[in-house]
Amino acid sequence: MFEVQIVILCGGEGTRIKHITKDVPKCVYSVNGRPFLFYVMSHFLKYRNDILDFILCCSDKSQQIKQELLKCPKHVSEWAFFERNNLWFDGKKVTLVAEPVPTGTMTGMLSALPYISSRYVLVLNGDTYCPIDLPQLIKFHQDSKSFFTVVNNDSIHSGIWFINSTFFWALKLFEATHREELLKQLENHNEEELHPHYYDGPSFIDIGTPEGLLLAQQMLKEDVHG
């Protein structure tokens, strides 16, 4: 129980859909009346016994993201007596981490390091909805004795990484600004045990394009909490 912390990268600029989202961060742009991030996090509440908490790496957008999430008052609330960048999401703690000077997806991800305390870390993009079966992913990761598992769909990278927390800490030793750079370094590393393992996951929705945003509007119509 409570083996996994979920780190969600929420700092993307959304340049390809800026004409639609305007000044709203794309990860919390409204999809059928809910911030997109609501659907992303809600999926994992199916596995709440495996989840410790959520960590949102928000670049310089933490307050905007917080305010958009608070538009779901039945599900999201502020901590009354704790830091102003903490929320509750249906009983799970949500920590919003600011990065004053955004410098890339890798540095954004590593901004979560001070908050990591679990056995495993699941990293995903805040603009991507992927209904991954978390227990199956954990089993694959454990059976393969992997430090680092990458979730693909038909060889297309979903942006989801499942990482041993000890290995997550070691990632700061690599010289990489973006996650794609790190992935190439690990694939070509001399130490075979550092090579990523690949898990074939389900299809996913990426709202980084107008077509993806339209697909999200069509597919994510149900209240996932029933």
pLDDT at 222: 58
**Distance between CA atoms of residues 157 and 203, nearest Å:** 10
More confident of the two residues 152 and 102: 152
CA distance 62 to 13: 13
Q: Where are the domains of the chain?
A: 4-219
153 close to 202: Cβ distance less than 8 angstroms: yes
Helix (H) or strand (E) holding 34: strand 34-35
Q: What does the pLDDT average to over 12-28?
A: 85
Q: Of the candidates 32, 43, 34, 33, which has an alpha carbon nearest to the alpha carbon of residue 8?
A: 43
Angle (nearest 5°) at CA 219 between 29 and 8: 45
Least Cα distance to 13 among 108, 89, 84 occurs for 108
93 token code pair: 């703690």
- In this prediction, residue 21 carries a pLDDT of 85
Percent of the chain residues past pLDDT 90, beyond the cut: 62
CA angle 180, 182, 186 (to 5 degrees): 120
pLDDT digits (tens, 9 = 90+) for 160-192: 999 999 988 888 888 888 888 888 898 888 888
Average pLDDT, integer, range 18-39: 92
Asked whether the predicted pLDDT for residue 82 surpasses 70, the reply is no
Q: For residue 196, what is the DSSP state?
A: P
Separation between Cα atoms, residue 112 and residue 100, nearest integer Å: 14
Model confidence at 45, pLDDT cuts 50, 70, 90, reads very high
What are the CA-CA distances from residue 216 to residues 29, 110, 204, 211 (Å)?
Answer: 11, 28, 10, 9
pLDDT at 84 over 80: no
pLDDT at 194: 84
Whose tokens are 């697909």? That residue is: 215
**Confidence bin at 81 (pLDDT 50/70/90):** low
201-223 mean pLDDT? 90
Architecture field, domain 4-219: Alpha-Beta Complex (3.90)
| Mean pLDDT estimate for the chain | 89
Structure confidence at residue 226 as a pLDDT band (50, 70, 90): very low
